[in-house]
Amino acid sequence: MKKLIILIPALNEERTIMSVIKKIPKQIPPFEAVEILVVDDGSSDQTAVLAREAGAKVIKHQRNKGVGVAFRTGTAAALEMGADAAVNMDGDGQFDPLDIPKLLLLVIQGRADFTTCSRFKDKTLTPKMPKVKLLGNALVANIISFIIGKRIYDASCGFRAYSREALLRLNLYGNFTYTHESLIDLAYKGIEVEEIPLSVRGEREFGKSRIANNVWKYGYRTLKIILKTLKDYKPFQFFGALGLAIFIFGIILEAALLIYWLQTGSFSPFKFLGFIGGYLNALGILIIFFGLIGDTLLRIKLNQENVLYYEKKKIYQ
């Protein structure tokens, strides 16, 4: 392996970006070169200037586009720079750059193509953070574990290592975040994913998190991530469960009307229950059908992305 790229998406991190960059090891065997790439996502402070002074290459977005877009910009640039592997981390100082070799070990050994720092796999390393964040992380991790068929303890950590193969396979769309989508995307493409327990600071030293700076907003976004993830990667289960629930509720209404008719010999004054029940039955079947269509579209998407992978290999060879 020749080149390692350290990718840091950053937004208004002027207080910490220099110290983070300077702590990154200059030599990490077996890599011949370690280069640092900061993607400034429209900062209004001196993040970009200070990152350059610290020795990093900087790509600057003219406006804030979201950490998901910044990550996509960074991974594309890493491939253009000839990365044999890449590590992404935040610029706020929550992750220790000296842990990069530990995070990379399985990738270097060829035992995994994608490793992610886990804050919760080893209970003794769980950082101090608000209970709502712990609950949100646990819920998302459980949903993603269900989707990919492998137990994941921490699906939201932004300290990760990728082989070149994993970088080429990545194909993301989200703007708000990338952590959940990238994990599922790579797992669905057969990339081996491993969690590495590491000690991480639970809260930022300065400023507020871009992702979780408000409890209610964090809860809403967590729920949105869960529902969108289920819809995109388990469409038949998502729409099937919803459609079946609606269909069964329609049956219950019709059964109640039937019982009333058997007892009284008349449908009045509850005749409307029959119409509502029939409508719900039809709606439930239609939603289940949407699930079947979604499952087919998912298979088409995965096939198209396999073609895209080979095109990217040609471009970045």
CB contact at 8 A, 4 and 83: yes
Question: pLDDT value at position 1?
Answer: 67
pLDDT at 174 over 80: no
Radius of gyration of the chain (CA): 24
Question: For the domain with range 3-233, which CATH number is right: 2.50.20.10, 3.90.550.10, 3.10.20.30, 3.40.390.10?
Answer: 3.90.550.10
Question: pLDDT value at position 214?
Answer: 62
The dihedral through the CA atoms of 93, 94, 96, 97 has a sign that is negative
Range in 9-13, 45-49, 214-218, 221-225 the model is least confident about: 214-218
C-alpha to C-alpha distance for 157 and 19, rounded to whole angstroms: 20
pLDDT at 203 over 70: no
Question: pLDDT value at position 227?
Answer: 83
- pLDDT band (50, 70, 90) for residue 209: low
CB contact at 8 A, 181 and 68: yes
SS3 196: strand
Give, for 33, the enclosing helix (H) or strand (E): strand 33-41
As a whole number, mean pLDDT of residues 129-155 equals: 89
The 3-class SS string of 252-291 reads HHHHHHHHHHHHHCCCCCCHHHHHHHHHHHHHHHHHHHHH
Cite the DSSP H helix spans in 110-195: 131-148, 164-169, 179-188
> What is the residue whose two structure tokens read 């029939």?
278
SS3 193: strand
Q: Average pLDDT of the chain?
A: 91
C-alpha to C-alpha distance for 31 and 317, rounded to whole angstroms: 18
Top pLDDT among 114 and 143 is at: 114
Question: pLDDT value at position 136?
Answer: 84
Global pTM? 0.84
DSSP per-residue string spanning 78-133: HHHTT-SEEEE--SSS-S-GGGHHHHHHHHHHTS-SEEEEESSSSGGGPPP--HHH
Q: How many CB atoms are closer than 10 A to CB 113?
A: 24
CB contact at 8 A, 118 and 150: no
Q: Write out pLDDT tens, residues 257-302.
A: 999 999 999 999 999 999 999 999 999 999 999 999 999 999 999 9
Q: Write out pLDDT tens, residues 29-70.
A: 999 999 999 999 999 999 999 999 999 999 999 999 999 999
Instruction: Give me the residue spans of the domains in the chain.
Output: 3-233, 235-315
